[in-house]
Amino acid sequence: MNLDEFEEILLQHQQHKFLVVDPLGGKGDQLIYLGMERKLKELDINYTVLRYKTAHARFYKIKKMLSSLHFLESSTKTFEQITDATCDLIYKKLSKLRAGFADVVLLRGGAYLNDVWKEYKILENAIRDNPNCNIIVAPQSFFFNTTYFPEFFENTMQEIDLFCRERYSYNLLCSMNFPENVHIHLSHDTALYLSKDDFNPQNGSYDLICPRGDRESVVDWRIQDLSKQKNMELINSEQPVNKAIVGDIDLVTDFQAFANLIENSKRVYTDRLHVAILSAILGKDTLLYPNIYHKNRGVYEFSLHKFPNVRFVDSLTFLGQKVPV
């Protein structure tokens, strides 16, 4: 049985009780969690899950409401401060209630511990509230413009394992000076623990074009202003694509709808990493485009290049041509 580094670390703690911290996010985050949960169950690990909305997720909805009501920018900043403090308090109370029964705190993987999303509170709270627990950060993509990441680990005593899901993040962390209790690892995104058997892929009838509509977006899709769409839209046109579903797939109502759209597609074009990962698992022809930093390229080079149906398109422009994979 060939184990990756993440599995090896989990097995070292197989007899311990885990507190799994799952900050609620988008549909791709749910896919990451499902893969991690699959592995925990497979290894027969005893775990309890702590789910909560991050300050960013809560404030996003409040900011959207305030914007529609034409509130001043100063008002939104005040609400942002209140939301951040409230979420911090909620996490502290919940984690203290549950951490007393845990030996290991496992933070779900993803891409929230970086200077794009800046959800560092998740890590800070886990370290602060669990001084006697091992901390494991599941495979992440790290990226910093201004943050000096090792500062979060000053004066820490517990063993901390940080997992990267691609070599760009791994090389970045390895270039930094961490305390001796902090260990850097490289392992695949946990969504890749899932298989085709976990879903219901069909012979596809449409192209699925899924641009991001958030701060990670960098590709000019040149179709229409998709970022403002609230729902997926079926279009029929000769140029640039024939019979396609176009839109930000993260805006669909639930995870099942997200999975169904990919299951029933023929070919997928996207700059959303986990749309590409699920599409790869399901055997769909998949074209993955860059995001604002090295995440998409890195996961493709480390993991997705092994799928013959997946191609990384090194372009910041999507014109809709049929690119063979």
Residues 120, 41 contacting (CB under 8 angstroms): no
Q: At residue 151, what is the residue type?
A: E
Give the pLDDT mean for 63-85.
Answer: 56
- Residue with the larger pLDDT of the pair 10 and 58: 10
CA 286 to CA 305: how far, in whole Å? 11
Note the pLDDT of residue 3: 81
| Check whether domain 5-193 has CATH 3.40.50, yes or no | yes
Token representation of residue 285:
């022809």
Rounded to whole angstroms, the Cα distance separating 279 from 171 reads 28
In this predicted structure, the answer to whether residue 24 has a pLDDT above a threshold of 60 is: yes
What per-residue confidence (pLDDT) applies to 226?
43
Residue 77 pLDDT class (50, 70, 90 cuts): low
Cα(131)–Cα(126) distance, integer angstroms: 9
- The residue type of 187 is S
pLDDT at 42 (0 to 100): 97
Percent share of the chain, pLDDT over 70: 77
Residue 299 pLDDT greater than 60, yes or no: yes
pTM of the model: 0.85
Write down the pLDDT at residue 244. Answer: 87
- Rounded to 5 degrees, φ, ψ at 284 are -80, 145
Separation between Cα atoms, residue 162 and residue 142, nearest integer Å: 10
- pLDDT tens digits, 156-182: 999 999 999 999 999 999 999 999 999
- Tell me what the mean pLDDT of segment 174-193 comes to: 98
Task: Give the β-pairing of 244-246 and 233-235.
Answer: antiparallel
Query: What is the tens place of the pLDDT at every residue in 217-272?
Result: 999 987 654 444 434 554 443 344 458 899 899 999 999 999 999 999 999 999 99
Domain residue extents for the chain: 5-193, 200-312
User: Tell me, what's the pLDDT at 81?
Assistant: 60
pLDDT for the residue numbered 65: 56
* Nearest C-alpha neighbor of 28 from the set 179, 230, 252: 252
Q: Which tens digit of pLDDT belongs to each residue from 58-67?
A: 444 555 555 5
pLDDT at 2: 73
Count CA atoms closer than 13 A to 53's CA, side-chain side: 12
**Could you tell me which residues come within 8 angstroms of residue 276 by beta carbon, excluding any fewer than 6 positions away?**
268, 270, 286, 288, 296, 300, 304, 310
Top-confidence residue, 184 or 78: 184
Per-residue pLDDT at 228: 44
